[in-house]
Amino acid sequence: MAPDDRADTSIAAPGGAGEDEAVGTFDLTKRFGDLVAVDRATLSIARGEIFGLIGPNGAGKSTLIKMLTTLLPPSSGRATVAGYDVLSQPAKVRRHIGYVPQLLSADGSLTGRENLLLSARLYGIPRGERVQRIARALEAMGIADAADHLVQHYSGGMIRRLEIAQSMLHRPTVLFMDEPTVGLDPVARQTVWQHVRQLRKILNTTMIVTTHYMEEVDELCDRIALIARGRIVALGTPSELKARLGAGATLDDVFARLAGTDSEIEQGYRDAQRTRRAAREHG
Partner 1 sequence: MPSAPAAPPASTAEPGFGRLAADYVSQVLAVAGAEAQKLRHDPMEIGTRAIQPVLWLLLFGQVMARVRGLASGDMNYMDFLAAGILAQSVLFVAIFYGISAIWERDLGVLHRYLVSPAPRSALVIGKGISASLRGLFQAVFVYLLALVIGVHTDFAPLAVLGVLLFIALGSMLFSTLSLIIACIVKTRERFMGIGQVLTMPIFFASNAIYPLAMMPAWLKAVSSVNPLTYEVDGLRALMIQGGTSVYGLPLDLAVLAGVFAVLVMIAARMYPRMAV
* Residue ranges binding partner 1 (CB under 8 A): 1, 66, 69-72, 82, 91, 94-99, 101-111, 114, 117-119, 121-124, 133, 136-137, 140, 150, 165-166, 168-173, 198-199, 202-204, 279-280, 282-283
Q: How many residues does the chain have?
A: 283
Contact 130, 169 (CB under 8 A): no
Nearer to partner 1, 124 or 246 (CB): 124
Q: Sign of the C-alpha dihedral, residues 265, 182, 180, 86?
A: negative
Q: Residue 96 has what DSSP assignment?
A: T
Nearer to partner 1, 42 or 206 (CB): 206
Nearer to partner 1, 71 or 249 (CB): 71
Least distance from C-beta 56 to partner 1, angstroms?
21
Nearer to partner 1, 19 or 34 (CB): 19
Residue 237: C-alpha distances to residues 133, 185, 256 (Å): 34, 26, 17
Least distance from C-beta 14 to partner 1, angstroms?
27
Please state the three-class secondary structure of 148-214 as a single string. CCEHHHCCHHHHHHHHHHHHHCCCCCEEEEECCCCCCCHHHHHHHHHHHHHHHHHHCCEEEEECCCH
Least distance from C-beta 186 to partner 1, angstroms?
23
CA 108 centroid distance within chain: 22
Least distance from C-beta 57 to partner 1, angstroms?
17
Least distance from C-beta 122 to partner 1, angstroms?
4
Nearer to partner 1, 66 or 229 (CB): 66
**Strand ranges in 11-88 using DSSP code E only, listed in sequence order:** 21-32, 35-46, 50-54, 76-81, 84-85
Nearer to partner 1, 198 or 261 (CB): 198
Least distance from C-beta 261 to partner 1, angstroms?
32
